[in-house]
């Protein structure tokens, strides 16, 4: 779709992939709705986007709360006409070994990485159904395609996102013209690893990637833009993108 004048909601826009995506889509003329919990960061991003001539709305929200999504929809509709896209990007990755029983972190990952995505879809769907158009982009991961020790729960949440996205596409694209895309990146240099508390993982994780050149958030923003900007007839189901130097 032509993004000029279209409205796209981006969750987890306060850093990393979400922030880069907001900048990219705004530079292509989209009205971007910036949501996350850290409102100050969102305000800074809005100012940056507006300085470059873009349009942005800030709505602070926790994706685990349905009422926060209702507020996002209300404010988006008050400011802009339609809801053309949702990038379900908010997520966290407190990797841990199962034996160490970081059960609170398991639950948080399920709440944010899976239920947060479901909450987003439930919030935008009535509007998109009515419009008979829209595009939902869910950020899964290369971890949704393969498992590794320490990533049992994280990988499970990302596999769920990938599978849910294909189910969405099958049900919504033919019947309502609503597209669905799963984005599956390998290692991207962001703040994502900062939530890791398992000391055993922390020790090994920094060295596990070696000194490879990781993907940058901008690379994923470009992939999201590619998926969103295809003509109405073309649905990009998945984008699986790895650093060239990352073997697995």
Binding interface with ligand NDP (CB under 6 A): 11-12, 14-18, 36-38, 62-64, 89-93, 112, 139, 141, 185, 187-188, 190-192
* 14 versus 133: smaller Cβ distance to ligand NDP: 14
**Interatomic CA distance for residues 111 and 91, integer angstroms:** 9
Shortest CB 192 distance to ligand NDP, Å: 4
* 65 versus 132: smaller Cβ distance to ligand NDP: 65
Q: Are 153 and 107 in contact (CB under 8 A)?
A: no
Residues in Cβ contact with 62 at an 8 Å cutoff, skipping those fewer than 6 apart: 37, 68
**Interatomic CA distance for residues 37 and 60, integer angstroms:** 5
* 113 versus 133: smaller Cβ distance to ligand NDP: 113
Shortest CB 97 distance to ligand NDP, Å: 19
Q: For residue 13, count CB atoms less than 10 angstroms from its CB and return exposed for 0-12, middle for 13-18, buried for 19 or more.
A: buried
In 3D, which of 200, 157, 198, 164 has the Cα closest to residue 180?
164
Question: What are the backbone angles phi and psi of residue 8, rounded to the nearest 5°?
Answer: -125, 125
Residues in Cβ contact with 174 at an 8 Å cutoff, skipping those fewer than 6 apart: none
Return the sign of the alpha-carbon dihedral for residues 30, 185, 20, 77. Answer: positive
* 112 versus 121: smaller Cβ distance to ligand NDP: 112
Shortest CB 92 distance to ligand NDP, Å: 5
Shortest CB 177 distance to ligand NDP, Å: 26
Shortest CB 41 distance to ligand NDP, Å: 6
User: Does residue 148 carry a catalytic annotation?
Assistant: no
**Interatomic CA distance for residues 46 and 55, integer angstroms:** 8
Choosing from 154, 225, 226, 240, the catalytic residue is 154
* 176 versus 240: smaller Cβ distance to ligand NDP: 240
Active site residues: 154
């Amino acid at each position: 779709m032509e993004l000029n004048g279209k409205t796209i909601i981006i969750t987890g826009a306060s850093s990393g992939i979400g922030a880069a995506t907001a900048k990219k889509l705004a530079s292509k003329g989209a009205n971007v709705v910036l949501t996350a919990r850290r409102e100050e960061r969102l305000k800074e991003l809005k100012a940056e986007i507006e300085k470059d001539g873009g349009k942005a709305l800030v709505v602070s929200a926790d994706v685990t709360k349905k009422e926060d999504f209702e507020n996002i929809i209300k404010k988006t509709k008050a400011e802009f006409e339609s809801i053309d896209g949702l990038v379900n990007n908010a997520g966290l990755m407190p990797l841990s070994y199962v034996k160490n029983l970081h059960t609170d972190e398991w639950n948080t990952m399920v709440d944010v990485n899976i239920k947060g995505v479901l909450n987003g879809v439930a919030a935008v769907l009535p509007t998109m159904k009515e419009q008979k158009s829209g595009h939902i982009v869910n950020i899964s991961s290369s971890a949704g395609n393969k498992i590794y020790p320490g990533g049992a729960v994280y990988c499970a949440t990302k596999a769920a996102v990938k599978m849910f996205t294909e189910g969405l596409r099958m049900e919504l694209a033919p019947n309502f013209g609503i597209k669905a895309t799963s984005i599956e990146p390998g290692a991207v240099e962001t703040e994502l690893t900062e939530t890791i508390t398992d000391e055993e993982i922390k020790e090994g994780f920094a060295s596990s990637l070696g000194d490879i050149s990781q993907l940058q958030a901008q690379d994923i923003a470009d992939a999201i833009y590619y998926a969103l900007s295809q003509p109405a007839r073309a649905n990009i189901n998945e984008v699986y993108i790895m650093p060239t130097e990352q073997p697995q």
